[in-house]
Structure 1
Amino acid sequence: MNQNTQYTEDNIKTLEWQEHIRIRPGMYIGKLGDGSSPDDGIYILLKEIIDNSIDEYVMGAGRKIDLSLDNTIVKIRDYGRGIPLGKMVDAVSKMNTGGKYDSRAFKKSVGLNGVGTKAVNALSSYFKVKSIRDGFSRYAEFSKGVLTYESPQIESKERKGTEISFEPDFSIFGNFKFRKEYIDKMLKNYVYLNPGLKIFLNGEEYFSENGLQDLLQDNIEGDTIYPIIHLKDEDIEVAFTHSERSQSEAYFSFVNGQHTTQGGTHLNAFKEAFVKTIREFYNKNYDASDIRKSIIAAVSIKIIEPVFESQTKTKLGSSEMGPDLPTIRTYINDFLKKHLDNFLHKNSEAAEALQRKIIISEKERKELSGIQKLARERAKKVSLHNKKLRDCRQHYNDQKSQRKLESTIFITEGDSASGSITKSRDVETQAVFSLRGKPLNCYGLTKKIVYENEEFNLLQSALNIEISLEDLRYNNVVIATDADVDGMHIRLLMITFFLQFFPDLIKNGHLYILQTPLFRVRNKKETRYCYTDEERLKAIHELGKNPEITRFKGLGEISPDEFKNFIGKDIKLEPVMLSKNTPIEELLDFYMGKNTQTRQEFIINNLVIDNF
Structure 2
Amino acid sequence: MSQETKYTEDNIRSLDWKEHIRMRPGMYIGKLGDGSSADDGIYILLKEVLDNSIDEFVMGAGKTIEISIKDKKVSIRDYGRGIPLGKVVDVVSKMNTGGKYDSRAFKKSVGLNGVGTKAVNALSTFFRVESNRDNQRKAVEFSQGNITEEFPVESVSARKGTKVTFIPDESIFKNYKFRSEYVVKMLKNYVYLNPGLTIIFNGEKYFSENGLKDLLEDNNNKEDMLYPIIHLKGDDIEIAITHSKTQYSEEYHSFVNGQHTTQGGTHQAAFRESLVKTIRDFYGKNYDASDVRKSIIAAIAIKVMEPVFESQTKTKLGSVEMGGGLPTVRTYINDFVKKYLDNYLHKNNDVAEALQRKILQAERERKELSGIRKLAKERAKKASLHNKKLRDCRVHLGDVKKERRLESTLFITEGDSASGSITKSRDVNTQAVFSLRGKPLNSYGMSKKIVYENEEFNLLQAALNIEESLSDLRYNNIVIATDADVDGMHIRLLLITFFLQFFPELIKEGHLYILETPLFRVRNKKETIYCYSEEERINAIEKLKGKPEITRFKGLGEISPDEFKYFIGDDMRLDPVMLDTATSIENLLQFYMGKNTPDRQKFIINNLKVELDLLEE
TM-score if structure 1 supplies the norm length?
Answer: 0.98
* Native 8 Å contact 2:52 2:113 kept in 1: no
Name the counterpart of 2:304: 303
Describe the SS at the equivalent of 2:172. helix
Name the counterpart of 1:379: 380
Name the counterpart of 1:360: 361
Describe the shift of the 1:188–1:446 C-alpha distance in structure 2 as closer, same or farther (beyond 3 A).
Answer: same
Describe the SS at the equivalent of 2:127. strand
The amino acid that maps onto 1:424 is S
Query: After superposition, where does 1:241-280 map in structure 2 within 5 Å?
Result: 241-280=242-281
Name the counterpart of 2:185: 185
* Native 8 Å contact 2:18 2:145 kept in 1: yes
* Native 8 Å contact 1:50 1:76 kept in 2: yes
Q: Percent identity?
A: 75
Name the counterpart of 1:562: 563
Describe the SS at the equivalent of 1:173. coil
After TM superposition, give the deviation of residue 393 of structure 1 in Å: 0.5
After TM superposition, give the deviation of residue 95 of structure 1 in Å: 0.5
**Deviations for 1:253-273, whole angstroms, at most 9, x for unmatched residues?**
000111101111010111111
After TM superposition, give the deviation of residue 585 of structure 1 in Å: 1.8
Query: Residues of 2 paired with 1:318 and 1:118: CA distance?
Result: 27
Describe the shift of the 1:393–1:349 C-alpha distance in structure 2 as closer, same or farther (beyond 3 A).
Answer: same
After TM superposition, give the deviation of residue 134 of structure 1 in Å: 1.7
Query: Residues of 2 paired with 1:3 and 1:233: CA distance?
Result: 71
Describe the shift of the 1:81–1:374 C-alpha distance in structure 2 as closer, same or farther (beyond 3 A).
Answer: same
**Deviations for 1:494-515, whole angstroms, at most 9, x for unmatched residues?**
1111111111110000000000
Describe the shift of the 1:15–1:234 C-alpha distance in structure 2 as closer, same or farther (beyond 3 A).
Answer: same
Name the counterpart of 1:389: 390
Name the counterpart of 2:234: 233
The amino acid that maps onto 1:41 is G
Structure 1, 179-188 or 219-228: larger mean CA deviation: 219-228
Describe the shift of the 1:5–1:337 C-alpha distance in structure 2 as closer, same or farther (beyond 3 A).
Answer: farther
Query: Residues of 2 paired with 1:34 and 1:202: CA distance?
Result: 21
The amino acid that maps onto 1:42 is I
Describe the SS at the equivalent of 2:322. coil
The amino acid that maps onto 2:603 is F
Query: After superposition, where does 1:96-495 map in structure 2 within 5 Å?
Result: 96-112=96-112, 114-221=114-221, 222-322=223-323, 324-495=325-496
**Deviations for 1:351-391, whole angstroms, at most 9, x for unmatched residues?**
12111111111111111111111100100011010000000
* Native 8 Å contact 1:480 1:514 kept in 2: yes
Query: Residues of 2 paired with 1:486 and 1:294: CA distance?
Result: 33
Query: Residues of 2 paired with 1:114 and 1:425: CA distance?
Result: 38
After TM superposition, give the deviation of residue 10 of structure 1 in Å: 5.0
After TM superposition, give the deviation of residue 402 of structure 1 in Å: 1.6
After TM superposition, give the deviation of residue 2 of structure 1 in Å: 8.6
* Native 8 Å contact 1:112 1:305 kept in 2: no
Query: Residues of 2 paired with 1:5 and 1:350: CA distance?
Result: 77
Name the counterpart of 2:45: 45
Query: Residues of 2 paired with 1:208 and 1:461: CA distance?
Result: 39
Name the counterpart of 2:64: 64
After TM superposition, give the deviation of residue 175 of structure 1 in Å: 1.0
- 1:527 matches 2:528: yes
After TM superposition, give the deviation of residue 596 of structure 1 in Å: 2.4
After TM superposition, give the deviation of residue 70 of structure 1 in Å: 0.8
Describe the SS at the equivalent of 2:566. coil
* Native 8 Å contact 2:123 2:172 kept in 1: yes
Query: Residues of 1 paired with 2:492 and 2:358: CA distance?
Result: 34
* Native 8 Å contact 1:232 1:238 kept in 2: yes
Alignment RMSD: 1.4
Query: After superposition, where does 1:509-528 map in structure 2 within 5 Å?
Result: 509-528=510-529
What are the ranges of 5 or more consecutive residues in structure 2 without an aligned counterpart? none
The amino acid that maps onto 1:345 is H
Structure 1, 312-321 or 9-18: larger mean CA deviation: 9-18
Describe the shift of the 1:3–1:90 C-alpha distance in structure 2 as closer, same or farther (beyond 3 A).
Answer: farther
Query: Residues of 2 paired with 1:39 and 1:166: CA distance?
Result: 19
Describe the shift of the 1:7–1:444 C-alpha distance in structure 2 as closer, same or farther (beyond 3 A).
Answer: farther
Query: Residues of 1 paired with 2:388 and 2:555: CA distance?
Result: 21
Describe the SS at the equivalent of 1:106. coil
The amino acid that maps onto 1:494 is L
Describe the SS at the equivalent of 1:585. helix
**Deviations for 1:443-479, whole angstroms, at most 9, x for unmatched residues?**
1111110000000000000001112111100000000
Describe the SS at the equivalent of 2:545. coil
What are the ranges of 5 or more consecutive residues in structure 1 without an aligned counterpart? none
TM-score if structure 2 supplies the norm length?
Answer: 0.97
**Deviations for 1:392-418, whole angstroms, at most 9, x for unmatched residues?**
000011222221100000000111000
The size of the alignment, in residue pairs, is 612
After TM superposition, give the deviation of residue 227 of structure 1 in Å: 1.1
**Deviations for 1:308-358, whole angstroms, at most 9, x for unmatched residues?**
111100001132112643100110111111111111111122112111111
Query: Residues of 2 paired with 1:24 and 1:7: CA distance?
Result: 25
Describe the shift of the 1:454–1:136 C-alpha distance in structure 2 as closer, same or farther (beyond 3 A).
Answer: same
Describe the shift of the 1:366–1:4 C-alpha distance in structure 2 as closer, same or farther (beyond 3 A).
Answer: farther
* Native 8 Å contact 1:264 1:317 kept in 2: yes
The amino acid that maps onto 1:219 is N
Query: Residues of 1 paired with 2:580 and 2:300: CA distance?
Result: 21
